[in-house]
A = this chain, B = another copy of it.
Amino acid sequence: MLSEFDLIHHYFTRAPAADDRIALGIGDDCALLQPKPGTRLAISTDMLVEGRHFLAGADAEALGHKSLAVNLSDLAAMGASPIGFTLALSLPAADPDWLAGFSKGLLALADLHGCSLIGGDTTRGPRNICITVFGELPAGAGLRRDAAVAGDDVWVSGALGDARLALAVSLGEIPAGEIDAGLLALATRRLDRPTPQVALGIALRGIAHAAIDLSDGFAGDLQHVLERSGCGATIDVDALPCGPALTAQPNARRHAWTLAGGDDYELCFTAPSDLRAAVIAAGLAAGADVTRVGSIDAASGLRLQDRDGNPLAIAPVSFDHFLST
């Protein structure tokens, strides 16, 4: 059997990155970063647990991709540019096939974003993947949750709900035969290999006020912005961009899963209404669709309405890891 150090070396060690922000990478007691003068270091951490965030037997390569993607999505929501990440991995056994697939998916996405593996830890135990990611951004440029202002537009990137639809099929909530096979494949890709909106987050610096990434569901995540910013919002639920697979579904399901599907990894952000052209230009530059879905109000609370302005009595609940069972 491979030793722990063989494992690390074989699957995860690579030539040191030619990145002058990384003074020392993997292999010492600590990694050393030296962010550029005038910048701040953005840090986020996410833990993925087998049986909760992914199923036993999940494709290892997709899981490697997703583990880093959900962390990069947090950097995107702050407008930070990726530098590197640490990986702590608990595994039931040193399975070379699994490690080869996982590291391939992980490092391919890391390469795409110039985000180097700078440190880690491996241990035996129930399968658990904990990544902490580092990015940089100019001082004062962060897209914080507490920065929404009454009168701001509310925007969403990409499209929502298809990941939830794919999850519903994989959980047997919906028979697979009910969904067009091609659309289901698209939706499954959304669930398994989300694309973090890193370029959009960077392009929105100086344009957007507040931002958050949509991991638990639009309504619940937007609530965090509203609470921290001390304001409310009115949202046109029919304007919420809907993924191609979910679009063909009944209205109630479409509303529910664009509002509170989870696992979207798109950005929700607010921006002054006189910067609409700049927001659209940022989306174009970043290769991301951006859709205006409502506005920020001075009065607290989240008001949901349909296209005709009729209030919707939906009580979307954000995903909570300790309440759901």
Contact A119:B45 (CB < 8 A) given known A40-B34, A74-B29, A124-B321: yes
Does A168 sit within 8 A of B, measured CB to CB?
Answer: no
Whole-angstrom distance between the alpha carbons of A4 and B318 in the complex? Answer: 11
A88 touches B130 (CB 8 A): yes
**Chain B residue with Cβ nearest A210:** B28
Contacts of A41 in B (CB 8 A): 32-35, 41
**Number of A positions contacting B (CB below 8 A):** 72
Does A80 sit within 8 A of B, measured CB to CB?
Answer: yes
Contacts of A165 in B (CB 8 A): none
User: A300-320: which residues lie under 8 A (CB-CB) from chain B?
Assistant: 320
A119 touches B44 (CB 8 A): yes
A52 touches B86 (CB 8 A): no
A83 to chain B, nearest CB (A): 10
Tell me the A residues contacting B by CB distance below 8 Å.
Answer: 1-5, 7, 23-24, 27-35, 37, 40-47, 49-53, 74-75, 77-78, 80, 86-90, 93-94, 118-126, 128, 130, 132, 134-135, 137, 139, 142, 144-146, 211-213, 228, 320-323, 325
The 8 A-B pairs at the shortest CB distance, nearest first, are namely A49-B125, A130-B130, A29-B77, A47-B88, A30-B42, A126-B126, A132-B132, A30-B78
